Amino acid sequence: MILSIPDVLGAAELQQLESALAAVQFVDGKATASGSAARVKNNRQAVGNAPGLRGLQKGVVDALLKNEAFSQFALPLRIMPPLFNRYEPGMAYGDHIDRPVMQGNVPVRTDLAMTLFLSEPGSYDGGELVVGSDFGPQRVKLRRGSLVLYPASTIHRVEPVTRGVRLAAVSWIQSMVREHEQRQVLAELGQLKQWADSMAQDSPQGLQLQKVRGLLLRWWADV
């Protein structure tokens, strides 16, 4: 399942992030790729030790954790500090699969991958994220401040940019629930609970859905 979430960052947050990134140095993105991925990666990436970068990364993670749709679908246990990347005309990232475990202060199993779009779609041509699925390749190009979540085990790519600049933040999430199908069931039960509450707050049906979702989460959570 591929999930798009609109407006994870507001206008003020986006403006602050954009201004801060304008002062950050971007270098060849191959530095954080390995194996076959390094051979097909052609973008630029914010220098990992750039002044103020950790604050920007924390701001994005905080926004993710505040977003109900993200938390309900991803059930995050660990989130990698986001990487900020930049695609200029002629740059692309060919078909690849993300590493199953990302190394850091604490290793993160990459259950989900995330792309947070930081450029308006009309400001650049190309640059679509193309994610493989059971229904064929899904092309994603969202408005500024919106994100897409998808299983990190899927083959995906970024199409060549032919005009303008595509700026984005990418990250990987280790979920409390390892299996994608189980996370999907829990997310759908959460949506049903919201619907039941919209009909009648704290209805018996809503409480029952909450109970069932809680039981399943207790069985499936890997914490």
DSSP per-residue letters across 100-169: SEE-SSS-EE-SEEEEEE-S-GGGSEE--EEE--TTS-EEE-PPTT-EEEEETTS-EEEPPEEES-EEEE
Which residues 6+ apart lie within 8 Å of 86 measured at CB?
26, 43, 44, 45, 46, 165, 166, 167
Residue position matching structure tokens 């993200």: 70
pLDDT at 176 over 80: yes
Whether residue 127 contacts residue 159, with contact meaning beta carbons closer than 8 Å, is answered with yes
State mean pLDDT over 120-140.
Answer: 93
pLDDT at 198: 78
pLDDT at 37 over 80: no
Residue position matching structure tokens 């060849």: 28
What class is the 3-175 domain?
A: mainly beta
Q: Tell me which of 210 and 163 has the higher pLDDT.
A: 163
Q: Band of the pLDDT at 77, cuts 50, 70, 90?
A: very high
Give the number of other Cβ atoms within 10 Å of residue 70's Cβ. 22
The pLDDT mean for the chain works out to 91
pLDDT at 86: 96
Q: Give the domain ranges of the chain.
A: 3-175, 180-220
